[in-house]
Amino acid sequence: MLQLTWQAELAAAFTRPDELLEFLDLQDLKQAHHPPAATAFPLRVTRSFAERMVKGDPADPLLRQVLPLPDEDLDAPGFCGDPVGDLAAVAAPGLLHKYQGRALLVVTGACAIHCRYCFRREFPYGAEQLSRQREAAALDYLNGDASIREVILSGGDPLALSDDRLAELVHKLETISHLRRLRLHSRLPVVLPARITEALAALLADTRFQTVMVIHANHGREIDRSVGRALAQLKEAGVTLLNQSVLLRGVNDDAETLAELSEILFERGVMPYYLHLLDKARGTAHFEVSDAAAQDLHEQLRRVLPGYLVPKLVREAAGAPFKLPVI
């Protein structure tokens, strides 16, 4: 059977709730899942990720992460369009500088999957993302601040860029002598593992940077054999792999699920890194887990897992100098 390129797989993603629900044998739910929020922030989910969902189960934890729900249209106090203060941290076009020693480049607004809890669902990518026309100012900013040792590629998802564009950007960053580390935040190794090709692995292996990739998995069922192979390719290329999860009601808000996720990640060579409390983006309140419940879950994890498998429980707050531990 002819294997699709990752670009073709990306183009074949589900973009209509009715098509996804029909694929999952959930035709009865079609009329209930067309909230207005789905127009402003449309559904997108790769077929690879959808194939890991349990057909006929409307409460599937993978489905819950991507299916638009009427709850997204309810107003909730404290939930807003810029919950972590991204816009206040813009230091140059496409560049956010929040924390000492590292800066973040918003290299694209594209993603392979639209997570309904996304904290950048209202981010003005058209005005703020990096582009070839805007990158000179961002590179000048990085070049002018020798305290910045790490540059983070984010978005959107940086692996939605072509290899050529990624290589071009990395080569330009390599000319800034005080930069030591390259970090990429990407969901694609999990939701579109075909993106991890030999060419991409070679690109990441050949850079002078110490390279870190922070992947994003919230549930153990997200990590199948194809994801395992993609992660192994990255490990062989010398990439340090970390995972960050978001604590989500109805998805992973129980200790057994979180513990199993940590075990599976470690078996695949990935260290559990962060367990984030929900960023309060408008339309996401139905995913929120209280601080008290989160702390109780974290204590349960500490009881059943070795310390190195327990992710740090944190929240991101606008204006804070680092991720805040939830203790």
Tens-digit pLDDT profile for residues 211-256: 999 999 999 999 999 999 999 999 999 999 999 999 999 999 999 9
Six-digit token pair at 195?
């993106």
How far is Cα 73 from Cα 68, in angstroms, rounded to an integer?
A: 10
How far is Cα 201 from Cα 230, in angstroms, rounded to an integer?
A: 10
How far is Cα 90 from Cα 113, in angstroms, rounded to an integer?
A: 25
Confidence (pLDDT) at 2: 53
DSSP state of 91: E
Longest dimension (CA), the chain: 58
Is the pTM of the predicted complex or chain greater than 0.85?
yes
How far is Cα 297 from Cα 307, in angstroms, rounded to an integer?
A: 14
- Residues in Cβ contact with 302 at an 8 Å cutoff, skipping those fewer than 6 apart: 310
Confidence (pLDDT) at 1: 47
- Residues in Cβ contact with 320 at an 8 Å cutoff, skipping those fewer than 6 apart: none
Confidence (pLDDT) at 39: 83
Q: DSSP letters of 260-272? A: HHHHHHHHTT-EE
Alpha carbon separation from 293 to 76, 276, 324 (Å, rounded): 19, 13, 17
Low-confidence ranges of the chain (pLDDT < 50): 1
